[in-house]
């Protein structure tokens, strides 16, 4: 019932006649990997070394942005300007080093189940991440074999504008060969939710971090789950609800 109502609201709001799920556009950090604690700690360490006041939890709110965009938030707060290209490169490398020093983050519970269901349903999985860190991107083939083909990966390295701009998810649709009403977005961060919503996709928010549900709703989430295992359990209901709208 919950899924059916969310699908009906999505169709009415966007003026779509049908909703056929051909592709799933999936964020990485906080969805596939329990990595946001490490990212936030690495960002916090890097910023504090610069003498910039910040909190660990604020970096959860920046998830989905490119590294340069996050650095520019810090620089504008501290110095009233954007960082130079060289500063961005140096500081992002330092942040990536700190993240790597913490060891490999665990796979997110429920993510494997979700991906198996999508694959078995014939749904194309496209990675859409603001990350450009090879330390975690290189794990995808090992941890989720056969799911994310090399040509179906949108990263910080091949977009001009990161989330919350819709460009990453529009590119994900392009890679999948789908229209907006033929894909779902799976996110755990408000900026990613906003990007998926702006791209016209049915956007699933999963609260795997400290971000409150209200922030997900405010940024356009069509449906919200409180964990990846819960989403994986309810995924058949969502696929069923979408299938009933297909002409």
- DSSP secondary structure of 122-153: TPEEEEE-S---HHHHTTHHHHSTTTS-GGGE
Q: Which CATH architecture has domain 2-35+106-243?
A: 3-Layer(aba) Sandwich (3.40)
Q: Looking at residue 138, what is its pLDDT? A: 79
Q: Looking at residue 64, what is its pLDDT? A: 79
- Rounded to the nearest 10 degrees, the angle between the axes of helix 167-176 and helix 190-198 is 60
Q: Looking at residue 152, what is its pLDDT? A: 95
What is the arithmetic mean of pLDDT over 2-23? 94
Whole-number average pLDDT of the chain: 93
pLDDT(3) > 90: yes
- Measure the CA–CA gap between 107 and 147, rounded to whole angstroms: 14
Name residues whose C-beta falls within 8 Å of residue 198's C-beta, 6 or more positions apart in sequence. 164, 165, 166, 169, 220
pLDDT(247) > 60: no
What is the arithmetic mean of pLDDT over 3-11? 95
Q: Looking at residue 133, what is its pLDDT? A: 62
Strands laid side by side in the 223-225 sheet: 153-154, 124-128, 23-26, 183-187, 202-206, 223-225
Q: How many CA atoms lie within 13 A of 49 on its CB side?
A: 10
Q: What is the pLDDT of residues 81-91, one digit of tens each?
A: 999 999 999 99
Q: Two tokens at 155? A: 């990263």
pLDDT confidence band for 246 (50 / 70 / 90) = low
pLDDT confidence band for 97 (50 / 70 / 90) = very high
pLDDT(179) > 90: yes
Tell me which H or E stretch contains 185: strand 183-187
Q: Looking at residue 244, what is its pLDDT? A: 82
- Measure the CA–CA gap between 112 and 129, rounded to whole angstroms: 17
**Among 107, 85, 45, 210, which Cα is nearest to 115's?**
107
**Among 210, 63, 215, which Cα is nearest to 130's?**
63
CB 194 within 8 A of CB 219: yes
pLDDT(25) > 90: yes
pLDDT confidence band for 156 (50 / 70 / 90) = confident
The residue extents of the domains of the chain are: 2-35+106-243, 36-101
- Measure the CA–CA gap between 67 and 43, rounded to whole angstroms: 10
Q: Looking at residue 176, what is its pLDDT? A: 97
- Measure the CA–CA gap between 80 and 46, rounded to whole angstroms: 18
Q: Looking at residue 66, what is its pLDDT? A: 84
pTM for the model stands at 0.90
What is the arithmetic mean of pLDDT over 201-220? 95
- Measure the CA–CA gap between 17 and 35, rounded to whole angstroms: 38
**Among 193, 154, 209, 202, which Cα is nearest to 30's?**
209
Q: Which CATH architecture has domain 36-101?
A: Orthogonal Bundle (1.10)
What is the phi/psi pair of residue 168, to 5°?
Answer: -60, -40
- Measure the CA–CA gap between 68 and 71, rounded to whole angstroms: 5
What is the arithmetic mean of pLDDT over 133-140? 75
């Amino acid at each position: 019932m919950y899924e059916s109502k969310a699908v009906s609201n999505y169709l009415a709001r966007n003026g779509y006649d049908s909703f056929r799920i051909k592709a799933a556009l999936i964020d990485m950090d906080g969805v596939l990997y329990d990595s946001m604690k490490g990212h936030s700690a690495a960002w916090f360490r890097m910023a504090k070394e610069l003498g910039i006041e910040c909190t660990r939890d604020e970096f959860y709110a920046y998830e989905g942005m490119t590294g340069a965009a996050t650095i520019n938030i810090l620089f504008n707060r501290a110095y009233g300007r954007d960082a130079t290209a060289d500063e961005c490169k140096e500081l992002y490398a330092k942040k990536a080093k700190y993240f790597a020093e913490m060891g490999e983050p665990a796979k997110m519970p429920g993510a494997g189940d979700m991906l198996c269901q999508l694959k078995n349903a014939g749904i194309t999985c496209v990675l859409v991440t603001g990350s450009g860190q090879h330390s975690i991107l290189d794990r995808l083939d090992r941890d989720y074999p056969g799911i994310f083909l090399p040509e179906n990966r949108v990263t910080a390295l091949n977009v001009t504008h990161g989330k919350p701009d819709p460009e990453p998810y529009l590119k994900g649709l392009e890679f999948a060969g789908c229209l907006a009403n033929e894909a779902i977005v799976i996110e755990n961060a408000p900026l990613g939710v906003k990007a998926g919503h702006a791209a016209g996709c049915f956007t699933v928010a999963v609260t795997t971090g400290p971000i409150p549900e209200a922030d997900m709703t405010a940024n356009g989430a069509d449906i919200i789950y409180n964990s990846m295992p819960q989403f994986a359990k309810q995924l058949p209901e969502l696929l069923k609800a979408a299938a009933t709208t297909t002409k």
